[in-house]
Chains A and B, each alone.
Chain A
Amino acid sequence: MERDYSRRSVLGILGSGSVAAMAGCLSGSSTDVNISGGVGPRMAVETWADLYNDEHDVSFDVGGGGTGVGVSEVLENQVDIAMMGRTPDEDEIDQGLFAVPMLIDTVVGTVHEDNPIIDEIQERGLTREDMEAIFTKETENWGDVYDDVDADEDITVYGRSDASAAYQKWGDFLGGEDDYHTENELESLSDGNHDGDSAVQEAIANNENAVSLNNINYVYDLDSGELEGAIRPIPLDQDGDGLSDEEDFYGNREEFLDAVEEGEYPMPPAREMFLASDGQFEDEAYDFVEWVLSDGQEYVRDSGYVPLEEDRLEEAQQTLEEGP
């Protein structure tokens, strides 16, 4: 059978077809709101975007990159909204950044489930001072943590090697009131640092003597909210007289989020996260942020975060209305 088309013509059609398709990608994208920034709040923002899209038919493009990337992009008008895992810096506000808080994220100290003194830790908790001593290498052996508990294993402290707001807040928390440890201090005091939350999680899971910190989404199972896998949270003994019933809320994610919401777990290590824009939010972006600060708050817990307190929420709504 003779072909009535040449290879060249087929290639030509293919080529022009793909060029047309590419052109479609460039110009015909119908995204209304572009969001990028911190990896920490991303899960919540994605959930919000999906829900908002269902209700209002506004399409979103949510990208990562880190808080600094998001802020740079929003200041250069490449995206409409930046997600921030940390408080905006003075320098960034000077450049025109306008940010409103959106939710609270929580970090907790973590150990391996077969830690040499896991029973005592879970029963009695550790005070802030205990944890500071461990993370700054003053206490170097699990046997030295409690006076009356016998164990002889060296403590391995893991930290984060990437600049991370969670780690920074952890340093604020460890230092106690009016004092703090910078991220670099913690980094150089630790035995090793890992790039990202999941790498830390993995490292603890591989080392029975390790201690570190994790976002609670890496401690509790994402779907069930139960303690699964090899890492366990370190209960915080706030008054120094052992773990009372009110301080014992680490069994599952629900209980833990309740405690953060009611202020029983301190800030820091819990911290606010922000949505930011170059000056006032515009059009669809403004509507979306307004929705996040009202109806959106009730979905926050589903993605493992804590909604803003009532007062703080009103303050945020007012800030949004007034603009920069």
Chain B
Amino acid sequence: MAESTESAESNQTGGRFSKRLRRERLSSAWFTVAGYFAIGIFVLIVVTMIYQSLPLLEEFSIAQMVSSSNWNPDQNEFGFLPAIVGTVYVSILTMVMGTPIAILTAIYLAEYAEGRMKTLVGSFIDVLAAIPSVIFGLVALFAVVPFVGNHLAPAFGSSATGQGIFTVSLVMSIIVTPFMISLSVESLEALPDELRETSLGVGATKWETIRTVLLRAAGPGIFSAVLLGFGRVFGATIVPAMLIGGQTHIPDSPFATGQTLPTLIVNDFGELMSLPLNQSALIFVGVMLLVVVWLFNFSAMLIRRRLRRRWQY
């Protein structure tokens, strides 16, 4: 009798235990599924896009399309070179304009600004980051385009209308800096205070400390912030579509009009999506964007790892 009570008791604890175990296994299975789900979606997108761009790839070779500058979907000419050059041009010009501003602002916010000023500037930068880019595009259409067309371009001896690579880069550099600033400030503020104290302690000035110690230590973080900004410019759609002037030729000056890969998609998508070869071409542009951005993130990861090893503190 006593034995049976005991076994019933142990059964009960065993039951409770297995229930907890089951729950544990179930939830961990859930988490795993959720993780694989993200990968699955990514793979699905890539496979769908490649599948959809097959009709185009069957007719033209990639090398031929990437090196040709004839873009004329009406006549089945799909040359992507102008858009590729335009995208790279805009991205690089944007980073040249935006990066110094972003890094200097980040240094100011992390090291110099104090109290209310810091809160004020910081919150304004956050608000700037939250403004939808279409609003920047609209404002730029009224303010930046006439300014570039009437004052800036003539000053450089160009007779542009104000639309073009330079205008897009200028506006994009305003759009991406808030992100780069926030991320850079975070990596600067994450540095331990001992770094600053030690540096100041051995007699370095504040600027020397920032330049030789802090920027190096926060280097990988700032670098990845810049790369993130680069990725955003690369895939930017609405602002280039509104401001670049939509001409599929290889731009010969910063004030020239042009085309980027995303604008190619957005300009032709509405009218020509129902023509199979056109659709295929636009989706192939998407594949190129995806591949480039992926290559970029991958190399960024490698470089960041390198830098972190070199710039240890």
Give chain B nearest CB distance to A173 CB in angstroms.
16
Give chain B nearest CB distance to A310 CB in angstroms.
30
Give chain A nearest CB distance to B173 CB in angstroms.
21
Interface pair A195/B241, CB less than 8 Å apart = yes
Interface pair B72/A202, CB less than 8 Å apart = no
Interface pair B74/A154, CB less than 8 Å apart = no
Q: Within 8 Å CB of A106, what residues of B?
A: none
Give chain A nearest CB distance to B260 CB in angstroms.
11
Interface pair A195/B74, CB less than 8 Å apart = no
A95 to B279, CA, bound (A): 14
Can you list, as one digit per residue, whether each of B135-155 has a CB less than 8 Å from chain A (1) or not (0)?
000000110001000000000
- Known A91-B275, A183-B74, A184-B74: A192·B267 in contact at CB below 8 Å: no
- Is A110 part of the contact surface with B, judged by Cβ < 8 Å? no
- Is B160 part of the contact surface with A, judged by Cβ < 8 Å? yes
A70 to B274, CA, bound (A): 8
Q: Within 8 Å CB of A162, what residues of B?
A: 246, 266-268, 270-271
Interface pair A161/B246, CB less than 8 Å apart = yes
- Known A188-B247, A191-B160, A192-B161: A199·B141 in contact at CB below 8 Å: yes
Q: Which residue from B74, B267, B274 sits with its C-beta under 8 Å from A182? A: B74
Q: Which residue from A66, A154, A187 sits with its C-beta under 8 Å from B270? A: A66
Q: Which residue from B163, B268, B279 sits with its C-beta under 8 Å from A163? A: B268
- Is A207 part of the contact surface with B, judged by Cβ < 8 Å? yes
- Known A71-B274, A161-B246, A187-B247: A192·B75 in contact at CB below 8 Å: no
List B221-250 residues whose CB lies under 8 Å from chain A. 241-242, 244-249
Q: Within 8 Å CB of B159, what residues of A?
A: 154
Interface pair B248/A188, CB less than 8 Å apart = yes
Q: Which residue of B lies closest to A158 (CB)?
A: B161
Interface pair B273/A68, CB less than 8 Å apart = yes
Interface pair A65/B270, CB less than 8 Å apart = yes
Interface pair A193/B246, CB less than 8 Å apart = yes
- Is A89 part of the contact surface with B, judged by Cβ < 8 Å? yes
Interface pair A68/B74, CB less than 8 Å apart = no
- Is A267 part of the contact surface with B, judged by Cβ < 8 Å? no
Interface pair A193/B273, CB less than 8 Å apart = no
Q: Within 8 Å CB of A163, what residues of B?
A: 73, 267-268, 270-272
Interface pair A161/B270, CB less than 8 Å apart = no
List B159-190 residues whose CB lies under 8 Å from chain A. 159-164
- Known A162-B246, A183-B74, A184-B71: A92·B274 in contact at CB below 8 Å: yes
- Is B276 part of the contact surface with A, judged by Cβ < 8 Å? yes
Interface pair A68/B272, CB less than 8 Å apart = yes
A86 to B273, CA, bound (A): 13
Give chain B nearest CB distance to A279 CB in angstroms.
15
A255 to B160, CA, bound (A): 37
A305 to B227, CA, bound (A): 50
Give chain B nearest CB distance to A220 CB in angstroms.
23
A38 to B275, CA, bound (A): 15
- Known A68-B274, A69-B273, A89-B275: A184·B248 in contact at CB below 8 Å: yes
Give chain A nearest CB distance to B286 CB in angstroms.
16
Interface pair A195/B267, CB less than 8 Å apart = yes
A72 to B248, CA, bound (A): 25
- Is B53 part of the contact surface with A, judged by Cβ < 8 Å? no
Q: Which residue of A lies closest to B167 (CB)?
A: A192
- Is A115 part of the contact surface with B, judged by Cβ < 8 Å? no
A229 to B267, CA, bound (A): 27
- Is A75 part of the contact surface with B, judged by Cβ < 8 Å? yes
A289 to B73, CA, bound (A): 31
Interchain residue pairs with CB less than 8 A apart (28): A67-B271, A68-B269, A68-B273, A70-B274, A71-B273, A89-B274, A91-B277, A154-B159, A159-B246, A161-B245, A161-B267, A162-B266, A162-B268, A162-B271, A163-B73, A164-B271, A184-B248, A187-B247, A188-B247, A191-B160, A191-B161, A191-B245, A191-B257, A192-B161, A192-B164, A192-B247, A193-B247, A195-B267
Chain B: residues with CB nearer than 8 A to chain A? 71-75, 141-142, 146, 159-164, 241-242, 244-249, 257, 263, 266-279
Closest 6 CB pairs of A and B: A66-B270, A161-B246, A68-B273, A71-B274, A163-B271, A193-B246
Chain A: residues with CB nearer than 8 A to chain B? 38-39, 65-72, 75, 85-86, 89, 91-92, 95, 97, 154, 156, 158-165, 182-184, 187-188, 190-195, 199, 202, 206-207
